[in-house]
Structure 1
Amino acid sequence: MVYFSAHEVKVGLKDRTRLKGFIRELFEREEQGLSNLQYVFCNDEYLLRINQEFLKHDTYTDIVTFELSPDPDITEGEIYISIDRVKENAERYEITENYELHRVMFHGALHLCGYRDKTKKEVEIMRQKEDEYLKLYFDK
């Protein structure tokens, strides 16, 4: 199951049923099992506290992803997304907030499928996968 919730922010997320189905499809395409996935949309301050407490990072970020399942083949996770960062990044890259929000959502799902973004090569692969899923989602 895929769930969406908001913590002290408004999220203009359209066609949630289709999006949930697409996220399940992303996991299927990546051959990764999916049990439960919770997206939590929040503000910068809330995500900063999570970043500090759990990851010991004292920086703002657009996303923090947690894998909670003891079974590496079946995902149970939480993805926290700062709507403040999404808005700022959309403006910076001159794209819509909706498009950037979906990019970040797919980015988190890809992390749970095993993709990383610490090295230049990993970032390149992650961007290719994000673009692939954005194209699939928005061109349907």
Structure 2
Amino acid sequence: MIDFHYETDFVIGDETKFADWISRLVVSEGRNHSQLDFIFCDDEYLLKINQDYLNHDTYTDIITFPYEDLNGLAGDIFISVERVKDNASDFGVDFNTELKRVMAHGVLHLIGFGDKSVEEALLMRAKEDEKIKLFHVEH
């Protein structure tokens, strides 16, 4: 199951289309999922989570918390809509493209992809680009 929660005025739009895309993204990596929750929030909400749970005092666009589940991939993916908007502007892409990149990024972390080293970051970016393209593929 894929659920969307809102701690801000932002609403993702066609939740069914996004959920289908996320499901296909997971399957494209040879995995299945049990419960994925996307929580859309603002900078302050995500900063508090970053401080309380990760001891980081910085703004971020995404924080992913994996959960053990023998039935498949499970976790909470918190996304700051404000950071996504700023990143889209900084990177010269539209908001929806950057939103998909960040959503894919969170799921890829749950699958096991990292981004700490240069090599990991390059692979993560390539995977994000690959998964964004799946959004428009009909099943």
* TM bracket, shorter-chain basis: over 0.9
2:74 alignment partner, SS class? strand
Please give the residue correspondences for 1:78-97 in structure 2 after superposition, counting only pairs within 5 Å: 78-97=76-95
1:43, 1:82 within 8 Å by CA — same for their partners in 2?
Answer: yes
- Count of matched residue positions in the alignment of Structure 1 and Structure 2: 138
Structure 1 residues 63-107: Cα deviation after superposition (integer angstroms, max 9, x where no partner): 000001254x72110000001100100111111111111110011
Counterpart residue number, 1:107: 105
Unaligned 5+ segments in structure 2 are: none
Cα RMSD after superposing both structures: 1.4
Provide runs of 4+ in structure 1 moved above 4 Å: none
1:6 and 2:6 aligned: yes
Letter in 2 for 1:41: F
The answer to whether structure 1 residue 43 and structure 2 residue 4 are counterparts is no
Counterpart Cα distance in 1 of 2:69 and 2:24? 22
Matches within 5 A, 1:21-100: 21-71=20-70, 74-100=72-98
Q: What is the CA distance between 1:139 and its match in structure 2?
A: 5.8
What is the distance in 2 between the residues matched to 1:104 and 1:24? 15
Structure 1: gaps spanning 5 or more residues: none
Does 2:52 correspond to 1:15? Answer: no
